Structure 1
Amino acid sequence: MRKRLITALTGLALAATIGLIPSTTAYADPDIDTVQARVDRLYHEAEQASERYNDAKIELEALQGDVASLRADQERQDEALGKVREQVADAMVSQYQGQGISAVGEVIVSDDPGAFLSQLTTMSSYQDHQDALLGDYADEVEALDIREAATARRVKQVSSVESRLKDEKTTIDDKLEEAESLLGRLKDEERAEILSRGGTTVPSDVPASGRAAAAVQYAMAQVGDSYVYGAAGPNAFDCSGLTMMAWAQAGVGLPHSSSAQYSSGARVAESDLQAGDLVFYYSPISHVGMYIGNGLIVHAANPGAGVKVSNLHEMPYVGAVRPG
């Protein structure tokens, strides 16, 4: 009896213990601050790749222009070589047909010393002409070889840059996909909170003068537009695409690259910033915005936030330039 009671009590205790163990594995919801940090990092890494992509596009356009010029020069050189080749061929045919040999015979049979000397001079001139033709031909061949080699080098560089473009595009897509996956694990309210963080009240008026006024007006009109890597309007932008298009309204051409834009104007100290100045972030530079006064900038931030107004020092500040 005592043995059966102990067994029963043991069973009840075991059942109670088992009842405390969850039947399925529980996963904690991702911490919103952790997700925020990871998403921000992924967006930044994607933007770095995007700006490198923009740089590569600029380099590719320049290389393609070089290739076009080199090929045109190569075609001109090929035509010049063809003309010299014809002259050499004609000279060789003439010699083969006996024109040069007949001159030798005339020298040998001539009884007139003056004619003899004249014929020697003629033969010497003829030989000099042939030598010059052959020399010209060799020079033209060498010039063509140089141009062909230069063209081949540029074509190879184009292929290398195109490969870089493909790699950077893959990096952008992978980083963006990972960020979207992280955001997808959050509840709608948490996702909205992350994407709305860092927003600043948009000023109703931004005083600006000269050409900068047109640039500032354009940039501010895009607040709320989407961020798309490599885009330059009209309804979506990346960081350098926005500033490029904004200053284009003022008649100032800027490259579609944040690092290249850093060399597009006079450097400006932070204490001397004016509305319209371009401000740059990170090292190496991978983000650009436009100063609008009162310690604020307008910029295409990232795919989550789009074009917005932020504090000047929301990101690691590097410096500023004044376009135009």
Structure 2
Amino acid sequence: MKKVKSVTSFALALIFAGSIGIRCTNVQATEILFGNSVEVASKESKLTGADIVAYAKKLTGIPYKSGGTTKAGFDCSGFTMHVFSNFNITLPRTAESQTSKGTVVSKANLRIGDLVFFGSVISHVGIYVGDGNFIHSPKPGSSVKIAELKYMPNYNTARRIL
């Protein structure tokens, strides 16, 4: 009799289990929660020249410092190196060596975020911000600021990093 009850119970359990519908659905997370904040995951995050310039503008007013590469003070190439490193892009230390990166761009085809170089022998660099202007760390006694390209002597070349 015990065997019959066990078999019957088992059979009823199988019938009951078979009557429950289980449905699987594939889902993709669009939000990841961390504590009280929400970060939305994007399928593709693409860095733009506008991102570069927006960060560079936040550094306006930081004083020129010979050999400087930090927010305590920048020289021209230390400034561009710092800005791009904020986006995990490595540039060489000097203005002249930074011309080895990216692709050559004519002055007529400058885009926001392009590096612009000056001097018959490259001696200065800045970042094009649009409308004929660029941002740079110009010289001792000055600070990071936006200037017009047309007033900067000895424009030499430009490079597009992005």
TM norm. shorter chain > 0.5 = yes
**CA deviation after TM superposition for structure 1 residue 213, in Å:** 2.9
Equivalent positions of 1:281-292 (< 5 A) are 281-292=118-129
Does residue 319 (structure 1) correspond to residue 157 (structure 2)? The answer is yes
**CA deviation after TM superposition for structure 1 residue 247, in Å:** 1.0
Work out which of the residue numbers 284, 294, 300 in structure 1 matches 2:131: 294
Distance in 2 between the 1:309 and 1:243 partners? Answer: 13
2:76 maps to: 239
1:222 maps to: 59
1:251 maps to: 88
2:23 maps to: none
**SS in structure 2 opposite 1:254?**
coil
Deviation readout 1:224-275 (Å, 9 max, x if unpaired): 1100000011231000011011111222110111000011110001111011
Does residue 278 (structure 1) correspond to residue 115 (structure 2)? The answer is yes
Tell me if the contact between 1:214 and 1:249 (Cα under 8 Å) persists in the aligned partners: no
**CA deviation after TM superposition for structure 1 residue 212, in Å:** 2.3
Residue identity matched to 1:210 = L
Deviation readout 1:41-100 (Å, 9 max, x if unpaired): xxxxxxxxxxxxxxxxxxxxxxxxxxxxxxxxxxxxxxxxxxxxxxxxxxxxxxxxxxxx
Tell me if the contact between 1:220 and 1:298 (Cα under 8 Å) persists in the aligned partners: yes
Tell me if the contact between 1:212 and 1:250 (Cα under 8 Å) persists in the aligned partners: no
**CA deviation after TM superposition for structure 1 residue 316, in Å:** 1.1
**CA deviation after TM superposition for structure 1 residue 214, in Å:** 2.9
Deviation readout 1:184-222 (Å, 9 max, x if unpaired): xxxxxxxxxxxxxxxxxxxxxxxxx83323321221111
User: Quick check: which has more Rg, 1 or 2?
Assistant: 1
> Residue 249 and residue 213 in structure 1: after superposition, are their counterparts in 2 closer, same or farther (change >3 A)?
farther
Distance in 2 between the 1:233 and 1:316 partners? Answer: 27
Structure 1 alignment gaps of length 5 or more = 1-208
Distance in 2 between the 1:215 and 1:250 partners? Answer: 8
Does residue 260 (structure 1) correspond to residue 108 (structure 2)? The answer is no
Distance in 2 between the 1:252 and 1:215 partners? Answer: 11
Q: What TM-score, normalized to structure 2? A: 0.68
Residue identity matched to 2:77 = S
Distance in 2 between the 1:228 and 1:210 partners? Answer: 28
Tell me if the contact between 2:62 and 2:71 (Cα under 8 Å) persists in the aligned partners: no
| Alignment length (residue pairs) | 116
Structure 2 alignment gaps of length 5 or more = 1-45
Tell me if the contact between 1:278 and 1:321 (Cα under 8 Å) persists in the aligned partners: yes
> Residue 214 and residue 251 in structure 1: after superposition, are their counterparts in 2 closer, same or farther (change >3 A)?
farther
More helix by share: 1
Distance in 1 between the 2:144 and 2:62 partners? Answer: 5
Residue identity matched to 1:321 = R
2:50 maps to: 213
Q: Pairwise CA RMSD of aligned residues?
A: 1.4
Distance in 1 between the 2:104 and 2:87 partners? Answer: 19
Distance in 2 between the 1:310 and 1:224 partners? Answer: 13
